[in-house]
Every structure is written in C-alpha cells, then in structure tokens.
Amino acid sequence: METKPTIAYADFAKLDLRVAKVVAAREHPNADKLLLLTIRVGEVEKQIVAGIRAHYPAESLVGRSIVVVSNLEPAMIRGEESGGMLLAASDAAGVTLLTPDRDCECGAGIK
C-alpha cells in the first residue's frame, strides 16, 4: 500500500464530494481505457472522463449512483473535457466504484 503525506483537515475540506447519477456513458473515441460519462450532480449535468473501460461496460453504468469529486478543476483528457472525477477502489480483484449503500438524493454531499 502506497502511503501519502498527511494533510490538514482544511485541505481535505476543500474537496466537494457528491453523489452523482450517471445519465449517459460511451467509449472515448481516442482512448482504449477511457469512458465518457455524463453525470448529474443535483441539477447540474457535466461530463467526466474515467479510466474504467476495462472494468465496466458503458451501458452498465447508466442509472447508477456514484461518488465524485465535483469541484475538480476541468481538464482536457485526450481531446475531451472532464469536469470531475469518480471515486473507485482497486485491488488484486480489480476496480470497484464507490457508491452509496442505499438510494440517496442526487447531489447529496459527502462528509
């Protein structure tokens, strides 16, 4: 397990972690490992680019609730804008998305 330096709570508190709903998903046209997800966070829709194509078929993600960093600075990834980041865990068995353990309001904050 990689250990990273400790951070102050104030730095962690800058992250806007939210529950998002995947409303559309498709394969990235210029990258074999990436998916383009359209997500809804509250009333806002945005696109994120996620490196999970080898682990999840695009169509299996539509309608799912996921956890995202909603206030990540937008970035261009292989020609597509990404306006956030989904949270996932990985181990020897593969990648798994972090999701609420019950139905939760889209846009709900995570503390």
DSSP letters for 9-30: HHHHTT--EEEEEEEEEEE-TT
pLDDT at residue 86 in the model: 97
SS3 59: helix
pLDDT at residue 92 in the model: 94
Q: Which fold has domain 13-97?
A: OB fold (Dihydrolipoamide Acetyltransferase, E2P) (2.40.50)
pLDDT at residue 1 in the model: 74
Per-residue pLDDT of the chain (111 residues; tens, 9 = 90+): 789 999 999 999 999 999 999 999 999 998 999 999 999 999 999 999 999 999 999 999 999 999 999 999 999 999 999 999 999 999 999 999 999 999 999 999 998
First-last CA distance in the chain: 24
Give the global pTM: 0.92
pLDDT at residue 46 in the model: 97
pLDDT at residue 2 in the model: 83
